[in-house]
Amino acid sequence: MNYVEDTPDLTTAIGTISEVHGPVVEVNCCRLPPLRQALSAELDGEIYMFEVHQHIDQHHIRAITLHETSGLYRGMMVYDSGASLHVPVTSDCLGRLVNIFGEPLDGGTPLSAELFRNIHAPPPGLSDTLETSGILETGIKVIDLLCPFAAGGKTGLFGGAGVGKTVLVMEFMHAISAIHHGVSVFAGVGERIREGHELWHEMRKAGVMPQTVMLFGQMDESPGVRFRVGLSALTYAEYLRDTMQKEVLFVMDNIFRFVQAGSEISSLLGRMPATVGYQPTLHTEVAELQDRILSTRKGSITSVQAVYVPADDMSDPAVNAILKHLDTTVILSRQQAAKGVYPAVDPLCSTSKLMDRHTLGDFHYTIAEGVREAMARYTELEDIITMLGIEELTEKDRLIVMRARKLQRYLTQPFAVTAAFTGMEGKSVCLSDTLDDCQGFLKGDYDDIPEKECYFRGTMKEIRP
């Protein structure tokens, strides 16, 4: 069932709570509800929601709470909702901040639901889906040049703590609103309350919030909330795509915390851990989320997912499980950030499936490869420069290094969403200008310009009109 027109019935008694183990509740049932069924209990006028995850025997189930467990007790009556968890969807959801149930977190009025959609709805059939449709320009020079986004595709921002994943995500949302006049759905998975509060206010200051709906499953909430808030957010994205026929940017920060929540639930249910302690269902759970991020004839969903990389180890099983589903991989480097290069994108490790002559055209592909080649040669020579000095290089290599350093600085950029903190006006650069400027660097047109003049600029027309 994809949607219902009214709220599910919450009055059918199904059994009583027999045990409570943290966020896991064991229920003694008169009949077994299906897996993923939403159950409820009431205490002092407050509704507690559960989701069925395991059948123990003919009369006992294990469910994960979607609220705090304080107040639950043995013998408490549990009711069957008659369906899996549904969220209220409406055209008025834009501009709102809500939780996993679609309840307001911004102090506003509850959403006036036009209908309720199942967060476990199946993806569209293969015959109804469309393939990715070329480049989605973001106005961010290094992204559009070296690892372009696929319109209707999936992009991952990989990096450790503090390298700028969330700032980059916010700038993408600003670009979708300003350049493409689309809408954004933001899923904050396991966000710290401080981060969520700051992000919400920054989005409002940047003028992005009216075209955005934000959902938060905070770090202090049940693992069931952190595990399912991504599906709730995706349900809103599907509604905006299918019913309102919008071009949707679906942002998830951070999908690694979704994996962690799944691992926590798996351990609580007593499953044997698999590789490096992750849940044995890791690949299935990631695929269940990723396979719903699709474009149809009604509209498209383009996904940007921030991925925390534990200990900066790209071989981590969770990172690899996510990596398999992506069209574009943006690697954020701690070394780049240490040099003051923001966005801290590693130009040699970041890739996109669009990087071929057929998709990009000869001009873009040639310029991108020329920039990569110069950067790669500079990286090879860095140790020699550190030990012996740049004077020991050949004249040709010195020229390459000089141009690569200028390109590295040119690919930095002030962002609109950080203007209040940096004091620099945000710059959005169209792809054609980026290509023209990079061609000029490679040809030597800017050899006479000092490196510092290339740092945190928009286009080179600001220096040489």
Instruction: Report, as residue numbers or ranges, the catalytic residues.
Output: 165, 191-192
Structural element, H or E, at residue 144: helix 141-146
Structural element, H or E, at residue 188: strand 183-191
d(CA 172, CA 91): 22
Q: Which residues pair with 212 in a beta bridge?
A: 184
Could you tell me where the DSSP H helices lie in 311-394?
317-323, 334-338, 357-360, 362-388
Two structure tokens written together for 328: 């574009």
Residue among 292, 197, 212 at smallest CA distance from 251 = 212
Residue among 255, 254, 213 at smallest CA distance from 235 = 213
Residue among 315, 320, 182, 171 at smallest CA distance from 253 = 171
* C-alpha pair distances (Å), 384 with each of 337, 340, 371, 374, 398: 22, 22, 21, 16, 12
DSSP codes, 53-113 = EEE-SSSEEEEEESS--TT--TT-EEEEEEEE-EEEE-GGGTT-EE-TTS-BSSS-PPP--
Q: Are 39 and 28 in contact (CB under 8 A)?
A: no
d(CA 258, CA 223): 9
d(CA 291, CA 79): 32
- Within a 10 A sphere around the Cβ of 268, how many other Cβ atoms? 18
DSSP codes, 200-234 = HHHHHHTT-GGGEEEEEEETTS-HHHHHHHHHHHH
